[in-house]
């Protein structure tokens, strides 16, 4: 189950089981609240945060770094990094020569190797850090096929071992969830491959996400020119977008093991 105090609203416990997509081996939801509701009823949860966290995780894990998710980028993150004997990633614009690790995939490629890294973010990382009891996988466009095949190979996506794919989304200035095109397309890519591998029935929500990917004629262009893509590119991080939109550029499947993402076997 998910924990995290004020991170989730207490009234969620009174919501109907109708929202849990029960009876389907493959499920889809949005954001921390969706993850909180679905996680207790699934064997595996896939977090998708295409233009930040999960793409950065794939880049870091490819280099051999163990990535520890953490929900908040505040003074507690520094304490947590010290406890984990890990370097702490800073915000994209806060990276320096002495603190070169950040949520930017391009910056992570340029930074010196570190064996252990704490990577905080309020969206994908917060979701991953709060899960307890389910296998957690980091998925994005660049490893979508690898993740879908790994899930099928390990028996996820059946009524007995259901999987939930969670599009992390972004935040509006008031803190509410902003559904993000890049994340539903990333989730859809994973769901399309999982379906192709013969997974159990997709919930209507999962089927709609799959269709959003399959019927998009140019996913890379869509992500590069959507609101989130333009925000990054116009803010000086076009290299991050370029890395994130490279569909199936990676075969790495980061799985949360002993509190850190490492490459699956």
- Give per-residue pLDDT as tens, 63-80: 999 999 998 878 899 999
Is residue 181 pLDDT above 70, yes or no?
yes
Helix (H) or strand (E) segment spanning residue 139: strand 135-139
- Among 182, 253, 171, 195, CA closest to 24: 195
pLDDT in tens, 73-105: 788 999 999 999 999 999 898 888 888 999 999
Is residue 257 pLDDT above 50, yes or no?
yes
pLDDT in tens, 107-163: 999 999 999 999 998 899 999 998 988 899 999 999 999 999 999 999 999 999 999
pTM (predicted TM-score): 0.92
* Domains in the chain with CATH codes: 22-260 (3.90.1560.10)
For residues 224-235, average pLDDT: 97
CA–chain centroid gap for 231, Å, is: 19
What does the alpha-carbon distance between residue 258 and residue 247 come to, in Å, rounded to a whole number? 28
Cβ 107 vs Cβ 55: under 8 Å:
no
- Among 254, 34, 14, CA closest to 131: 34
Cβ 251 vs Cβ 146: under 8 Å:
yes
Is residue 1 pLDDT above 50, yes or no?
no
For residues 2-10, average pLDDT: 44
165 CB contacts (<8 Å, ≥6 apart)?
Answer: 26, 27, 28, 45, 46, 48, 139, 187, 190, 191, 206, 209
Is residue 169 pLDDT above 50, yes or no?
yes
What does the alpha-carbon distance between residue 130 and residue 117 come to, in Å, rounded to a whole number? 17
Residue 15 confidence (pLDDT): 56
Share of the chain above pLDDT 70, in %: 94
What does the alpha-carbon distance between residue 148 and residue 140 come to, in Å, rounded to a whole number? 11
Is residue 11 pLDDT above 60, yes or no?
no
What does the alpha-carbon distance between residue 248 and residue 265 come to, in Å, rounded to a whole number? 17
């Amino acid at each position: 189950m998910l924990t995290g105090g004020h991170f989730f609203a207490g009234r969620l416990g009174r919501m109907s089981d109708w929202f849990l997509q029960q009876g389907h081996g493959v499920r889809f939801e949005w954001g921390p609240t969706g993850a909180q509701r679905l996680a207790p009823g699934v064997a595996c949860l896939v977090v998708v945060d295409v233009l930040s966290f999960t793409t950065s995780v794939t880049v870091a894990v490819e280099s051999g770094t163990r990535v520890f998710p953490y929900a908040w980028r505040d003074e507690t993150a520094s304490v947590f990094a010290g406890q984990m004997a890990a370097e702490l990633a800073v915000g994209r614009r806060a990276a320096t020569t002495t603190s070169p690790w950040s949520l930017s995939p391009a910056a992570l490629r340029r930074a010196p190797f570190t064996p252990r890294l704490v990577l905080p973010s309020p969206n994908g990382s917060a979701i991953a850090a709060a899960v307890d009891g389910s296998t957690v996988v980091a998925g994005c466009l660049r490893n979508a096929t690898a993740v879908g095949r790994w899930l099928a190979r390990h028996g996820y996506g059946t009524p007995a071992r259901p999987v939930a794919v969670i599009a992390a989304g972004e935040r509006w200035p008031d803190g509410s969830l902003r559904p993000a095109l890049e994340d539903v397309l990333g989730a859809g890519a994973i769901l399309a491959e999982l379906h192709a591998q013969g997974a159990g029935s997709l919930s209507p929500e999962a089927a709609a996400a799959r269709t959003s990917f399959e019927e998009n004629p140019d996913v890379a262009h869509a992500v590069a020119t959507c609101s989130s893509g333009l925000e990054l590119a116009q803010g000086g991080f076009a290299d991050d977008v370029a890395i994130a939109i490279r569909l199936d550029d990676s075969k790495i499947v980061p799985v949360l093991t002993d509190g850190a993402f490492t490459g699956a076997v």
